[in-house]
Amino acid sequence: MAKIKYIEHNGKEHIVEVQNGLTVMEGAVQNDIPGIDADCGGSMSCATCHVYVKEDWYNKLPKKEMGEDDMLDQAYEPNTNSRLSCQIMVSDDLDGLSVYMPEKQV
């Protein structure tokens, strides 16, 4: 279980507890948090669950696997802090993680 803070582009914060084994994307979708669309349902083929993670946490997350950066190329305003939230698996280690949403997903 990890407490995750989802921060909308307008600054509105949502803190939810997400079960281990779910992804950060699923944590948002299951709790009706706006700003993460996840059109493809988590198959890493749409880039609409794009989030920014600040350096402190970014470096602690498991590294990106092959293909994630390719999809991020197609995201809305990606930068070096970008991740696809469907590729971040929740575990106890992620307790306290904050993710920032882009202005929009497409």
Partner 1 sequence: MIKTDVVIVGAGPTGLFCAHQLGIIGLKCEIVDNLDKIGGQCIELYPDKPIYDIPAVPECTGEELTNNLVEQIKPFNFKFHLNDRVQELKKENDNWIIKTTNRKEFHAPNVVIAGGVGSFEPRKFPTKSAEKFDGTSVLYSIKDKTIFKDKSVAIFGGGDSALDWAIELSNTSKVSLIHRRDEFRGAHASVQKIKELSEKNIINLFTKYSIKDVKGNGSLEEVEIKSEDGESKILKADYVLGFFGLIMQLGPIAEWGLNLDKKVIPVNTENFETNKKGIFAIGDICTYPGKLKLILSGFHEGALAARGCFKYARPNEKYRFEFTTASSTIKDRLGVK
Scanning 7-15, 33-41, 52-60, 84-92 for contacts with partner 1 by CB under 8 A, the matching segment is 33-41
Cβ contacts of 80 within 8 Å, gap of 6 or more: none
25 binds partner 1 per the rule CB under 8 A: no
Query: d(Cα 27, Cα 20) in Å, to the nearest integer?
Result: 10
Query: d(Cα 55, Cα 74) in Å, to the nearest integer?
Result: 22
Instruction: Write phi, then psi, for 69 (nearest 5 degrees).
Output: -65, -35
Over the window 52 to 81, marking each residue x when it contacts partner 1 by CB under 8 A and - when it does not, the resulting string is -----------------xx--xx-xxxxx-
Radius of gyration of the chain (CA): 12
Among 11, 43, 55, 65, interactor with partner 1 by CB under 8 A: 43
Binding residues for partner 1 (CB under 8 A): 37, 39-41, 43, 45-48, 69-70, 73-74, 76-80, 103, 106
